[in-house]
Amino acid sequence: MSAESQLAVAVGHPRRSVIDAAWRAIGPGVEVLSSGDGGPLTRTVKRILDPLVLRLRSNPQYSAPVVDAATAAAMRDLIVGNAAELRSAAAWFEALKLERRRQRIRSGNAQELYFPVCFELAVTKGPPAQHDHETAATALREVHHSRDRTAMELLHQYVASPDVVPALAAQLDRSWRDVRASESGQDIVTAGFMAELATVLGAATGHRAAIARQRVWSAIIADATPYNLGAAAHLESARLPWSIVELGLSSAVPQQPPAVSGGADGDRPLDRSVVNRVRATLRRALDRDALPDIPLLCEEEVDRACAPWGLLSEDKQATLVAGIEVSVELAPLDRSLASRYALAAQIQARLRKEAYVLHARRYLAEGGPIHPRQQQVVEDLAAYAQPYLSRLWARLHGRDVWQEPCDDVDDVRSLLEGVARSVSLDHRQRIKAMLELQVAG
């Protein structure tokens, strides 16, 4: 750092610190827009504070990395002065998320898409009125209709061309035949790999243990075992440590080549057609301009669909195998089952404390009648690996498409924990919807 820069830091105020302090001064009511330590989320700054509160285009002085005392005071006044609107925006975000789950919308990142909309609603309408589902539903329609329509129309037009599907089918046939395990399906040696995985999924306290865990994960990513296991799933003679059907990853053993279009497109990740996979990518994409054109996107997805575990990158394949090992340890309804891995035990303990899990366990013990929606949750809890791996695979697919790495072991462990939280959130929402229907009835 130059002498001038050091002097600027000494006499000025780091922009991020100014925003952080002003945000904390707002107090309660903005938790959903805040990080775990109480400061604003990065997306809160990017999508609400910078463009809509500080208005950087009109006030470029607020964008400097270090600001003087007068500018810092003005920034604080603007942020704290919008406290009521920010609290209302947080309430609207909760309302839009609830409506999003009710409509089963999965496209795009909710924070990225909805934060500006929520602030606009806060300014124009104040906080959401109780039971005002219509405003939230209208806002979601406006966000998603124009956003989703154009890309989907282009995809449908492309695959409707008479030469496209046959060409993609020929590519799929070649790609499927090109996937070969370096060991035969009956001879894949997994003992060493599983021992390393136990270190990654185990408890690690202290700096040295954390470094060792990262070193082991780097070795796992470079190991051929995850690739070989996924490739062996294509073989009739394969002897995998788990059943891909029982795990909910595939509807058949051995795994069958996916269709290009149509075909089996249920909840089984490895059964989904190439076109449905591309459609999911387009729905999730925050920045479609960063994606390849539709033809190249389809060609890449053909190769990905044929790759082991339906994922091209070795780190994603290894992460899925780690997730499989965690998932088979999770049995929220069975209090007697002990986990081999510390990470699985940690997730398991949290799941078993969920109120809806305790309620389901009590219902089952008493043998009383169960509402159909609650029955779905009970079935998910009884075969927990299926909803867990379905959601994990979807997240890894997104990372694979966007080439986002899974090379940091702490990030991978956070992902494996986060998937369980996401499944629980879905379960709670289903039960809440059930209770709302009962009250309405």
Quick one: average pLDDT of 142-164? 82
Percentage of the chain beyond pLDDT 90 is 60
Q: For residue range 337-367, what is the model confidence (pLDDT) as tens digits?
A: 889 999 999 999 999 999 888 888 887 877 7
Largest CA distance in the chain: 75
Q: Which two tokens stand for residue 382?
A: 């009884």
DSSP state of 34: B
Res. 4 pLDDT band, cuts 50 70 90: very low
Residue type at 36? G
Strand, helix or coil for residue 40: strand
What torsion do the CA atoms of 63, 65, 71, 74 make, to the nearest 10 degrees? Answer: 60
The pLDDT of residue 2: 39
List, as one string, the DSSP characters of 74-125.
HHHHHHHHTHHHHHHHHHHHHHHHHHHHHHT--SS-HHHHHHHHHHHHHHHH
Cα separation, 355 vs 337, whole angstroms: 19
Res. 9 pLDDT band, cuts 50 70 90: very low
Angle among Cα 374, 376, 377 to the nearest 5 degrees reads 65
What are the CA-CA distances from residue 386 to residues 267, 391, 393, 423 (Å)?
9, 9, 10, 10
Q: For residue range 306-337, what is the model confidence (pLDDT) as tens digits?
A: 999 999 999 999 999 999 999 999 999 988 88
Quick one: average pLDDT of 82-110? 89
- Is the Cβ–Cβ distance between 133 and 99 less than 8 Å? yes
The pLDDT of residue 127: 93
The pLDDT of residue 65: 82
Task: Tell me the average pLDDT of the chain.
Answer: 88
Kindly tell me if the per-residue pLDDT of 64 is higher than 90.
no
Res. 436 pLDDT band, cuts 50 70 90: low
What torsion do the CA atoms of 174, 177, 182, 185 make, to the nearest 10 degrees? Answer: 160
Q: For residue range 239-252, what is the model confidence (pLDDT) as tens digits?
A: 899 999 999 999 99
Strand, helix or coil for residue 198: helix
Strand, helix or coil for residue 307: coil
Q: For residue range 166-180, what is the model confidence (pLDDT) as tens digits?
A: 999 999 999 999 998
Kindly tell me if the per-residue pLDDT of 158 is higher than 70.
yes
Cα separation, 281 vs 402, whole angstroms: 9
Q: 285 CB contacts (<8 Å, ≥6 apart)?
A: 108, 151, 291
The pLDDT of residue 10: 42
Res. 290 pLDDT band, cuts 50 70 90: low
